[in-house]
Structure 1
Amino acid sequence: MAITIRSAVESDLSALLSLYGELNPDDEPLAADAAKDIWAAVRHQQGRTVLVAALGDTLAGTADCTVLPNLTRSGRSILFVENVVVAQAHRRRGIGKRLMAAAGQLAASAGCYKIQLLAADGHEAHTFYRACGYQPLAQGFRRYLDENPSCRRRR
């Protein structure tokens, strides 16, 4: 079956949430109203494109891409890629590579000078991104705010 890479639409929300459940299985599912509100914000964010890989009516993968304007590099933007996931049942079919190629096309069409992402720890993810032409050229840092007691939301 042919793989179609396209921008996500509102009717994809349920399938996107299922894919994100595979990406972060320990996360509690979002309430339906919260998910719809967040999707509306994502959909209206300038420079943001959630790509999906469709096999017929089935969403097999996704990549969330955001073009950020930039005052360095002669004003050329940066494309950030997050939440890349291919459903376990559809891996090793070239879907991830097609999603990353589409992200590259978004970056080129926006005049970006680079694509940046953070990869999860693990040999499989690193091997995948290298196979897509990415190199581990910088030290990445993260600070999860929910792990900092002073940043926790009050319930």
Structure 2
Amino acid sequence: MEIREVLRGDLPGLLRLYEQFDKGAAAEMGGPAENIWRGILADKNHHVLAAFSGGRLVSSCVLVVVPNLTHGGRPYGLIENVITDEDCRQQGYATALLDYAAALAQSAGCYKLMLMTGSKKESTLRFYEKAGYNKTDKTAFIRWL
């Protein structure tokens, strides 16, 4: 297992993985996706992390470090788009990625790390709790735009 930040050439594998969120959920290769990708890669606070098996991208999550004027000016981290290929689940990829993201957030000086999941599956919620996240400290709301 290799865990690292993605590189420019990892976009096709990442989009292929994102299709497992929902068909049509991933941006299509081409102009718009590549422009978005360049912007993400240029943003020092935006970290797309990936796990590879045999050179194939099999799991990913995004860590965004948000500058902040509270908590002594310490930033906080947001985790999004946690996904593991359907054929590679229950093998530790997402756990390794979340640990890597936490270490990266800590090295950036973050005072907390937050994530939300759209899943209501008890196994998914237990997975995040086992990874060190709790569902009792905050209440999350979402407004779709």
TM category, shorter: over 0.9
User: How many angstroms does 1:26 deviate by?
Assistant: 4.6
Kindly name which structure, 1 or 2, has the bigger radius of gyration based on alpha carbons: 1
Letter in 2 for 1:103: A
Aligned equivalent of 1:103: 101
Is 1:127 equivalent to 2:126 in the alignment? yes
- The 3 A distance-change label for structure 1 pair 8 and 111 is same
CA RMSD across the alignment: 1.3
Secondary structure at the aligned position of 2:34 is classed as: helix
Spell out the pairing of 1:1-155 with structure 2 (5 A cutoff): 3-27=1-25, 29-122=27-120, 123-136=122-135, 137-145=137-145
Runs of 4+ deviating beyond 6 Å: none
User: How many angstroms does 1:56 deviate by?
Assistant: 1.9
Contact 2:12 2:29 (C-alpha < 8 Å) held by counterparts:
no
- The 3 A distance-change label for structure 1 pair 28 and 98 is closer
Letter in 2 for 1:130: E
Secondary structure at the aligned position of 2:125 is classed as: helix
- Structure 1 unaligned spans of 5+: 146-155
Secondary structure at the aligned position of 1:103 is classed as: helix
Distance 2:26 2:9 in 1: 21
- Structure 2 unaligned spans of 5+: none
Contact 2:78 2:114 (C-alpha < 8 Å) held by counterparts:
yes
Contact 2:80 2:115 (C-alpha < 8 Å) held by counterparts:
yes
Distance 1:48 1:104 in 2: 14
Contact 2:49 2:63 (C-alpha < 8 Å) held by counterparts:
yes
Question: Quick check: 130-139 or 120-129, which moved more?
Answer: 120-129
TM-score by length of 2: 0.93
User: How many angstroms does 1:125 deviate by?
Assistant: 2.2
Aligned equivalent of 1:149: none
User: How many angstroms does 1:47 deviate by?
Assistant: 0.9
Question: Percent identity at matched positions?
Answer: 32
TM-score by length of 1: 0.87
Distance 2:33 2:97 in 1: 23
Contact 2:15 2:26 (C-alpha < 8 Å) held by counterparts:
no
Distance 1:66 1:140 in 2: 17
